[in-house]
Amino acid sequence: MDSLKWWQKTLVYQIYPKSFCDSSGDGIGDLNGITEKLDYIRNLGVGAVWLTPVYVSPMVDNGYDIADYKNIAPEYGTMADMENLIVEAKKRGIRIVMDLVFNHTSDQHNWFKESRSDCKNSKRDWYIWCDAKPNGAPPTNWRGIFGGSAWTFDEATGQYYLHTFAKEQPDLNWENPEVRRILYDIANFWLDKGVGGFRIDAITYIKKPVVLKDLPIDGPDGMSNVHMATANQPGILEYLHEFKREVFAGKDIFTVAEANGVSAEELPRWVGKNGAFDMLLEFNHMNLDMEKASLWCRPAPWKLTKLKKALSDSQKATTENGWYPAFFENHDQPRSVNQFFPKNADKKLAAKVIATVLFTLKGTPFIYEGQELGMTNTKWSSIECYDDIASKGQYALALQEGFSKQQALEFVWKYSRDNARTPMQWTSAKNAGFTSGKPWLSLNENYNEVNAGWQMQDEDSVLRYYHRLAKVRQEYDILLKGSYEELLEADEQIYAYMRVMKEKKVIVLCNFSEKEKEYSLPKLSGNGKLLLGNYADAPNQILRAYEARVYLCEGRTTIEGCSK
């Protein structure tokens, strides 16, 4: 009997609607644009599409500031367009997954408007209000994730409210049962519309500490990252289990929660038999080039062994219990070919290396729009060209830290979330075929070379490599079910691992550097078959610059003497 669920066997494709496809010509992507591209998505082998928020929103954080959870943002379309998208996707075997932003709302949500109207309002307690320190300063020294204090003073009622993110994103008070009830109702409303699951935003922040107090200063602004104070607080899982009971339990959907700061050891409490979610987007393998305070201007050295260890720890933690959502990109991260490879790396080979890992780890691969084309970071000439609220906050912090404007801008080039938000590159036509109007955000200039239309024609393209990977993953059960074992652990150039199922092994070898490398895996002997690689041939025992290979070995076999 097949013990795997549909969402374990499929691929998830993440769409940032604002940047995906504009059907109306206003320069902003929309739901009908997504519907138009469903065949393209289906051809990738995708069974679920995660839409970042499409609800009514002032768009201070591009939809992560929700003003109405049960209606569609007019710039994206109507509820009828949404229902049509769900139906059209279903016809193609694709389920739509909604993003639930439940840590906070927009300050334009009616709940917050009521809450701030009067200390005695019945919704006052739906948010987190606090008196100033005796000297009038904010209640604690916490820095919000986008920079600046995590507290904003409200003149009308004379108290501060807490916001983990921007001041326009006040945090909800999950201690209040009415709040939890209304959030569960919203999730059920979307299930009734036929969605296939949820990605749940910033969930680690919903539970606040009992005592709100200052923490040691960790930045040039004299503040301390709010994350250190509020992430993953004791008791959080009780709420999440309630959420599961009231909404997800027993339904044929999947849940994947964004949980920055949950370590691999903690995973069994979050996912699997006794966990609250099916999968957890933890970030232990990301941001390895940054110190804890998450300041872009304080980078830490990146090493391949750090990445390998983080991935292996998460693989081990989810191999028996739970399931891993493999990802290397999303709308908050720079492009993977820039994040994981040296500056001058061959981008096409690099994109295939990261794709190889994405598809051969144990778990469900999450592909972020444009990743399948090997889209890259951008470099704009001034901070004014950027839309991303986090980029602006981090730029200001870098200046405070004493960096010049140019240096501060260079941090933005490296880490900006806009790197991932430039419009999707469909063709080499004007605006990459994304819009007939003026795009809301500049395109990456390389769209003439990097675009889906062109890559469909080119057998050697990154896109066609994704198609091949999807086929291989579907054909070989071992890639779904086999266990994971790391090889060559101390190697700083090669990431190697096996997937093992009974007598069979799949061996994955990826060279993350430009230097050729001889490898030896002494324990294995015999013959193997090359399933896939990003070079035309495969000489024995040598991996060339940014080379990736996937071998299938049956019985006591090795990768020596394999033929294509």
Tallying the residues shown for the chain, one arrives at 564
Return the H-helix or E-strand segment holding 132.
none
Q: How far apart are CA 77 and CA 97, in angstroms?
A: 17
> Of 231-270, which residues contact ligand GLC (CB under 6 A)?
258
Residue with tokens 């439940």: 102
For ligand GLC (CB under 6 A), the number of binding residues is: 9
Q: Does 386 help bind ligand GLC (rule: CB under 6 A)?
A: no
Q: Which of residues 304-343 bind ligand GLC (CB under 6 A)?
A: 331-332
| Single-letter code of the amino acid located at 70 | K
Q: Is 101 in the site for ligand GLC (CB under 6 A)?
A: yes
Q: Is 15 a residue that touches ligand GLC (CB under 6 A)?
A: no
CA 313 to chain centre: 19
554 assigned to active site: no
Among positions 119-178, residues that touch ligand GLC (CB under 6 A) are 165
Are 434 and 444 a contacting pair, CB within 8 Å? no
- Which residues in 187-309 belong to E strands, given as ranges? 197-200, 224-225, 254-258, 279-281
What is the nearest approach in angstroms of ligand GLC to the Cβ of residue 201? 5
**How many CB atoms neighbour CB 136 within 10 A?**
7
Among 50, 64, 76, 340, binds ligand GLC (CB under 6 A): 64
In terms of C-beta density within 10 A (0-12 exposed, 13-18 middle, 19 or more buried), how is residue 165 classed? Answer: buried
- Shortest approach of ligand GLC to residue 105 CB, angstroms? 10
Contacts of 204 (CB under 8 A, 6+ apart): 231, 232, 236, 258, 259, 260, 261, 262
Q: Could you tell me the smallest distance in angstroms from the CB atom of residue 51 to ligand GLC?
A: 13
Q: Which of 201, 313, 329, 369 is the catalytic position?
A: 201
From edge to edge, which strands make up the β-sheet containing 548-554?
Answer: 483-487, 494-501, 504-511, 548-554, 528-533
Catalytic residue among 218, 258, 329, 547: 258
Does 449 qualify as catalytic in the annotation? no
CB of 497 to ligand GLC, least distance (A): 28
Judged by CB under 6 A, does residue 369 bind ligand GLC? no
Q: Closest-CB residue for ligand GLC?
A: 64
Distance of closest approach, residue 104 Cβ to ligand GLC, in angstroms: 7
Contact set for ligand GLC, span 185-204 (CB under 6 A): 201-202
Q: Of 292, 357, 319, which Cα lies nearest the Cα of 549?
A: 357
Q: Which is nearer to ligand GLC, 72 or 257 (CB)?
A: 257
The answer to the question of residue 494 lying near ligand GLC (CB under 6 A) is no
Which of residues 278 and 332 has its CB atom nearest to ligand GLC in the complex? Answer: 332
Active-site residues, by number, are 201, 258
Residues found near ligand GLC in the complex (CB under 6 A): 61, 64, 101, 165, 201-202, 258, 331-332
